[in-house]
Amino acid sequence: MEPFEFVSPSSIDEAVKILASNGDKVRIMAGGTDMLVQMRAGRRTAPLVVDVKGIPELNNVSYDASKGLTLGAAVPCYKIYQDKSLAATYPGLIDSASLIGGIQIQGRASIGGNICNAAPSGDSIPVVIALGGVCNIAGPNGTRQLPVEEFCTAPGRNALENGELLVSVFIPAPQAKSGATYQRFIPRNEMDIAVVGVGTSVVLDASGQNFVSARIALASVGPTPIFAKAAGDSLAGKAVSEEAIQQASELAMSAATPITDMRGTIRQRTHLVGVFTRRTLNNAIDRARGG
Amino acid sequence: MTSNQVLSEVEFNVVGKRPIRPDGVDKVTGRAQYGADTNMTGALQAKVLRSPYPHARIKSIDVSKAEAFPGVKAVITAKDLPFAALSKEELGDGYTALKYASDHMMASDKVLFKGHPIAAIAAVNAHVAESAMALIQVDYEELESVVDVREAMKDGAPLVHEDLRTNDMGQISDKPSNIAAHMSYSTGDIDKGFAEADLVMEREYTTATVHQGYIEPHNSTAFWNTDGQLNIWTSTQGSFAVRAAVANVLRLPVSKIKVTPMEIGGGFGGKITAYLDAITAVLSKKAGVPVRTLMTRSEVFEASGPAPASWMRVKIGVKNNGKMTAVETDIAMDAGAYPGSPAMQAIVCAFACYDVTNGKVDGYDVVVNKPKTAAYRAPGSPQAAFGVESLIDEICGELKLDPIEFRLLNAAKEGTRRIEGLVAKRIGLVECLEAARDHDHYKSKLSGENTGRGVACGYWPNRGFQSSVVMTVHFDGTVSLLMGSVDIGGTRASIAQQTAETLGIAYEDVKPTIVDTDSIGYTFITGGSRTSFATGLAAITAADDVKEQMITRAAKIWDTSEDDIEYVNGTVSHKSDEELKFSFKDLARQLATTGGTISGRSNIDPTGEGNGYAVHLVDLKVDPETGKTDVTRYTAVQDAGKAVHPGYVEGQMQGGAVQGIGWALNEEYFFDPTGKMLNPTFLDYRMPTTLDLPMIDTVIVEVANPGHPYGVRGVGEPAIVPPMAAIGNAIHGATGHRMRSLPMTPGKILEAGWENGNSSGG
Amino acid sequence: MADVTQVKTTINGEEVNLLCEPRQSLLEVLRDVLGMTGTKEGCNDGNCGACTVILDGRIVDSCLVLGVEAEGKNITTIEGMASPEGLHPLQQSFLENASLQCGICTPGFLLASKSLLDQEPDADEGRIRHWLAGNLCRCTGYDKIVRAVLQVSKAK
């Protein structure tokens, strides 16, 4: 690895100043579990690494039942799944946080980092999209918000402008009779990159028999995580039924634009989008019904 | 739910017990010194520049900028190896062998695989060496490469070596070819045998390149002193193999080289070839200080020695009752960039489980533009067994025969003449098959949808070869045991146990130490399932030497003839005078005053190895929507001869089985069309994790090997042979699909379903 | 030569002052700067767990932590697992169960197992297998490792 300087700002302002004045010479590091691997392999280089774990806002986890969850961008996965109230409120988020890497990786890796890394396979991204997550971004011109589905722009590229920093991800408070799930397909049972990942969220009516709304997002089947809006929208107002779920699965399959590579073929991935859209919808429905 | 069944007829005092290994505490406290843990004063760290192309001519190399980089102390290329200065005339018949050996360590004219060493840099630290590597300018002329073993065999395929000619059973062909060797054996009359059959089936199988996957990367530390003495500290399965390889390439007498084997973090056959030692030595010579070279994980994948990909055709004829009438196979194995695949072992092992009257086996050793393959646990046998054991299962299905009864009907036993001509001595395949048949696992009912059960067996001949041991009796009656066999998985314990058993003393009184190549006689590698057998036998022989000398001392003390004295269970006593008796310790105390200490020694080359057989049972479940296989129950049955330390024997069986499970389901090198490996990480080279496995039940069968006083056979290899076919057979049971290509990934199982007409809907 | 930074950290209960380059990982710092070679390198990219250490109560892959990040932290390595009174029960259990063959993965497995049982003293086989999935062992097939941890766990 080439030498670099390392700084640990303790405030957002300080971080933004450093970022703004160093342009593309700088890399932001949270857990480092992707970034250090990329730097060691020479895929990313930077003369300056900015460790953002010392900034209070990026370590903040705050939940307000009327608004929602503000999750600091550097909060490691284990802090999310170890929080019992978060686990009860956002089981779909817990699905993701507890399957990124192994326990060692979860001690460091963060949802914010996973989103910023902008891998098509990022395991936390689909469910955060499905949950209606919004990125809180700080920059030289103040703060701005961006829906998570608009944040990843290309493999390894995100919407952060020069000087900007992802501070937190906001996830709205779950509505009554709602549920969310993330599942992925990997050849082993742990430690793999998703061949396909699907995050879904559903809101049911009071009877639990009809969809009010649904959101579906996909990983590893396009250059970025994909928000399969039409697939989720197709469920709104429909009775919960195998046919409706099947139709949403087919729409999700048509939203996927996978490639064939060593981890899977186009046909396999498209097929798995269908399988996992159905499985995650069924699981999210169970969760919404309190099952 | 687990069961361990040891079938044993003989009780020993120490052999067969489960003592704590002598090196155990160091290994659980982080004190054990592995190859990467050396810390020599003033040592430099080195990096190796490797070819980015699978096949290219090296037009020029310019290292001047790297040499000028601050912190760089030495840069070498193939020009710094002795081969560069030797002519074809000087080397004569040895030219090609030395060229291959030297070029494999550092390429002189052509690179033959991605990762082929081009140059090496020693610097004040590895980061500096790495930065300087980027400054070496290499001008390559890219050449067309050949990756697939069958493509490489075709006329007109790109030639990996322009001068390689096929050795066809001793006849050298006249035109260059990628087929380095063709070997063939036959017995009986296969045309007649197939004509007599009621059913003849013939299928083709392929297996992918896989890696041993040891967790410790290759490493070497070398110091070439100004007096010409070269010291090497390295992780290797054979310190003498490293010495020989370095002496060969560097044209040195072996006495100038001392190799100290460090603790080794796994090998499985992959740490026999000396990849780094010679170039690290040359860097040290140039820099004048010690140099340490460590491979990264991706270097391990790309530039050490994986196990070959293979293609095979298998044909078997049987009577309706299941009796085999004729067998035939062709096996082509990819050797990688230089000749030397285990095609010979593959054809020898292919039908070694069966009593075959009419058979023909043909093997092909084929070079391709991939890293030179190396041994991997029972080299050649797993690939062959995948084909043969899968086809047998298919035949059993066709004839509605129980797969274990079929195998019992055809099983090789004492006196069976194998296709290559060797006659089996006392072997335990029948006993293993019976133990599997009678096991609760096989008798249990398979339940649930999409589940399957598979059976397969496997063979490895096991090995003898040279071992040396020296043991010294101390005045307090404890014993130092010096050996040249490195300990990969508990052989200090198993050899100390055999020593203690032979001397009739406590295990705790034997202290085993693995010494360097100056301190003991030649000892072959730890590999081939030979160490507990051959070095164990060396220890027994050395202990017998000690016993004789102890008797001589007692004779001296008692002023009697040695013939009047016997040595039984650690007690030296006069045969006719009950009063005259020494315990081992009491007599040891007398050594100093009766002529000094006693050392027993042995240098042996035993040939009494006993063949190893294994039978595996597996239950699994396949998710029909994803094609993913989950192994739910696994039982490994194996003939150990005598399990010296049952805990480590079980460990070998379990470890081999799990490597086989990985090979079966997910492990493979992905190559681009030119031969560049796409997945040189543990992320994408998917070895099983704890979550992918159930407990692995073991049944140790003990059919004593007549070639060893305690009946020991080897145990390391056979367990990796059956799993791939056992799992494939179980997948057939679960899905109805016959998988004939390894690995049997979820994607391939889905594809098989689509080919068989299942819908692809979600 | 690249500039070095001073780092003040606590390793196995002892305060340590060290100098390292920012690009050096905690693994490199432990092994090359401090000579603590019990922590092993298997892959250097967070996929094998051989370099596992406990950092402020959580296991991490030390290859994916920078040495400079150790500032003010509390680190436990394999060298800190046994005490003058003797081996940790897990170390003893690994020995008794023949849970190691080559031993290169053992330090990482021991620290990961310790951190599990410190937090969940009654972890069952399923929890153990889940917790240890980030540690690769190629020799044992994991059976004897899982059994050794189960033997120390209060789950029976």
d(C-alpha B573, C-alpha B564), whole Å: 9
Question: Given an 8 Å threshold on Cβ–Cβ distance, is A275 in contact with B626?
Answer: yes
The CATH topology of domain A5-51 is 3.30.43
A147 CA to chain C: closest CA distance, Å? 30
Fold of A178-286: Enolase-like; domain 1 (3.30.390)
Q: Are residues C99 and C125 in the same domain?
A: yes
- The rounded percent of chain A whose pLDDT value lies above 70 is 100
State how far the Cα of B616 lies from the Cα of B432, in Å rounded to an integer.
9
- Asked if C72 and C95 sit in the same domain, the reply is no
Q: Residue A227's pLDDT is what? A: 98
Per-domain residue ranges of chain A: 5-51, 56-172, 178-286
Report the SS3 class of residue A210.
Answer: strand
Measured in angstroms, the CA of C114 and the nearest CA of chain B are apart by: 13
Q: Which residues of C touch B1 (CB under 8 A)?
A: none
Name the DSSP letter for residue B307: B
Pairwise CA distance, residues B144 & B159, whole Å: 9
B421: burial class by Cβ within 10 Å (0-12, 13-18, 19+)?
exposed
| pLDDT one-digit tens code per residue, B545-588 | 999 999 999 999 999 999 999 999 999 999 999 999 999 999 99
Q: C52: domain range?
A: 5-79
What ipTM describes this predicted complex? 0.98
Alpha-carbon span A148 to A135, nearest angstrom: 6
What is the structure's pLDDT at C154? 87
Q: Chain A: nearest CA to C11, how far in angstroms?
A: 18
State whether C71 and C11 are in the same domain: yes
Q: Is residue C17 part of a domain?
A: yes
Q: What CATH number is given to the structural domain containing C25?
A: 3.10.20.30
Interface test with C, best of B1, B2, B29, B654 (most C CBs within 10 A): B29
User: Which CATH number fits the domain that encloses residue C143?
Assistant: 1.10.150.120
With a cut of 80, say whether residue B538 has pLDDT above it: yes
Q: What is the mean pLDDT of residues B237-264?
A: 98
Per-residue b or e along B557-588, where b marks 16 or more CB atoms closer than 10 Å to that residue's CB: ebebeeebbebeebebbbeeeeebebbbbebb
Arithmetic mean of pLDDT, A201-222? 98
The reply to whether A24 touches chain B by the CB within 8 Å rule is no
- From B301's Cα to the closest Cα of chain C, the distance in A is 11
Check residue B760 and give its pLDDT.
Answer: 44
The answer, for B673 touching chain A at a CB cutoff of 8 Å, is no
Pair (C52, C9) in one structural domain: yes
CA gap B496, B480 in Å, rounded: 10
3 state SS for C84-151 = CCECCHHHHHHHHCCCCCCCCCHHHHHHHHHHHHHHCCCCCHHHHHHHHHHCCCCCCCCHHHHHHHHH
Contact C61 A36 (CB under 8 A): no
Which DSSP string do the residues of B619-681 spell out, in sequence order? EEEE-TTT--EEEEEEEEEEE-SS-SSHHHHHHHHHHHHHHHHHHHHT----B-TTS-BS--S
Q: Are residues C68 and C118 in the same domain?
A: no
Q: pLDDT per residue over B665-708, tens digit each? A: 999 999 999 999 999 999 999 999 999 999 999 999 999 999 99
Cα-only R_g, chain B: 27
Enumerate the β-bridge partners of residue A183. A198
**Which tens digits make up the pLDDT trace of A144-161?**
999 999 999 999 999 999
Say whether pLDDT at B4 is over 70.
no
Task: Indicate the residue type of B103.
Answer: D
DSSP state of A57: G
Q: For position B7, what pLDDT does the model report? A: 65
Picking from C79, C113, C130, the residue at the C-terminal end of a domain is C79
Distance CA B103, CA B98 (A): 8
Nearest to B417 by CA among B571, B186, B591: B186
**Cβ-contact B427, B600 below 8 angstroms:** no
pLDDT bin (cut points 50, 70, 90) of residue A43 is confident
| Residue C10 and residue C72 in one domain | yes
C60, pLDDT greater than 60: yes
Encode pLDDT of B78-103 as tens digits. Answer: 999 999 999 999 999 999 999 999 99
Task: Report CA torsion sign: B669, B674, B678, B681.
Answer: positive
Count of CA atoms in the C-beta half-sphere (13 A) of A98: 18
Mean pLDDT of B499-511: 98
Same domain, C59 and C104: no
Q: Is A191 on the interface with C (CB under 8 A)?
A: yes
Answer whether B618's CB lies under 8 Å from B726's CB.
yes
CA distance B613 to B721: 9
Report the distance separating Cα C29 and Cα B441, nearest Å: 50
Tell me which H or E stretch contains B612. strand B612-622
Q: Is the pLDDT of residue B539 over 90?
A: yes
Which chain B residue shows the shortest CA-CA distance from A186? Answer: B628
The pLDDT-based confidence of C106 (bands split at 50, 70, 90) is very high
Percent of chain B with pLDDT over 90: 97
Structure tokens at B482: 């010096």
> For residue B761, is pLDDT > 60?
no
- C74 and C121 share one domain: no
Regarding whether C9 and C74 lie in a shared domain, the answer is yes
Q: Do C23 and A4 touch (CB under 8 A)?
A: yes
Which is more confident, A16 or B8? A16
**Which residues on chain B are in Cβ contact (under 8 Å) with C33?**
none
Do the Cβ atoms of B503 and B587 come closer than 8 Å?
no
Query: Which chain C residues are Cβ-neighbours of B655 within 8 angstroms?
Result: 101, 138-141
* pLDDT 10s digits, A46-64: 999 999 999 999 999 999 9
Confidence of residue B762 (pLDDT cuts 50, 70, 90): very low
The sign of the dihedral angle between the CA atoms of B346, B349, B354, B360 is: positive
The reply to whether C56 and C98 lie within a common domain is: no
* A278·B754 Cβ contact <8 A: no
B294 token code pair: 């460590």
Q: Hey, which bits of B155-198 come out as E strands?
A: 165-168, 171-176, 179-187
Counted domains in chain C: 2
Residue B11, pLDDT score: 84
Cβ neighbours of B124 in C, within 8 Å:
1
Nearest by CB: A274 against B665, B684, B761: B761
Cβ-contact B639, B713 below 8 angstroms: yes
Q: Confirm if B167 and B702 have CB atoms less than 8 A apart.
A: no
Q: How far apart are CA B136 and CA B121, in angstroms?
A: 10
Phi and psi, residue B376, nearest 5°: -145, 105
Structure tokens at A271: 């097929």
Q: What six digits make up the tokens of A88?
A: 């009860």
Interface of B with A in 612-631 (CB under 8 A): 625-628, 630
Q: Is residue C84 part of a domain?
A: no
* Exposed / middle / buried, residue B9 (Cβ in 10 Å: 0-12, 13-18, 19+): exposed
Percentage of chain C surpassing pLDDT 70?
99
Interval C118-132 mean pLDDT:
97
CB count within 10 Å of CB B604 equals: 20
Contact B585/B477 with Cβ under 8 angstroms? Answer: yes
C49 and C111 housed in the same domain: no
Other beta carbons within 10 angstroms of residue A206's beta carbon come to 9
pLDDT in tens, B491-500: 999 999 999 9
Q: Using CA atoms, how far apart are residues C122 and C145, in angstroms rounded to an integer?
A: 16
Q: Report the chain A residue with the minimal C-alpha distance to residue B672.
A: A262
Q: What's the pLDDT band for A44 if we cut at 50, 70, 90? A: confident
Nearest CB to A249; choose among B686, B751, B762: B762
Distances in whole angstroms, Cα of residue B680 to Cα of each of A254, B296, B373: 33, 10, 15
- Asked if A28 contacts A116 with a C-beta cutoff of 8 angstroms, the reply is yes
CA–chain centroid gap for C99, Å, is: 16
| C97, C67: one domain | no
Q: Can you give the pLDDT at residue B426?
A: 96
Is residue C78 within 8 A of residue C109, CB to CB? The reply is no
**Which residues make Cβ contacts (< 8 Å) with residue B231, sequence separation at least 6?**
B222, B223, B224, B225, B257, B258, B260
- Residue-range domains of chain B with CATH: 467-604 (3.30.365.10)
Q: Which pLDDT tens digit goes with each residue over B441-495? A: 999 999 999 999 999 999 999 999 999 999 999 999 999 999 999 999 999 999 9
**A104 reaches C (C-beta below 8 A):** yes
| pLDDT recorded at residue B10 | 75
Give pLDDT, residue B3: 59
B125, B690, B720, best to mutate vs chain C, most C CBs in 10 Å: B690
Which residue has 């002892």 as its token pair? C14
d(CA A124, CA A118): 10
A213 interfacial to chain B (CB closer than 8 Å): no
In-domain check, residue C18 = yes
pLDDT at B8: 62
Q: What are phi and psi of B74, to 5 degrees?
A: -160, 140
B165-168 and B171-176 as β-strands: parallel, antiparallel, unpaired?
A: antiparallel
Tens digit of each residue's pLDDT (9 = 90 or more) over A156-183: 999 999 999 999 999 999 999 999 999 9
Q: What is the CATH number of domain A56-172?
A: 3.30.465.10
Per-residue model confidence (pLDDT) at position B199: 98
Average pLDDT estimate for B733-755: 97
- Choosing from C48, C79, C110, the residue where a domain stops is C79
Higher pLDDT, B762 or B68: B68
Average pLDDT, rounded, for chain C: 97
Percent of chain B with pLDDT over 70: 98
User: What is the model's pLDDT at position B2?
Assistant: 52
pLDDT, one tens digit per residue, over B362-414 is: 999 999 999 999 999 999 999 999 999 999 999 999 999 999 999 999 999 99
Q: Which of C23, C47, C79 finishes a domain?
A: C79
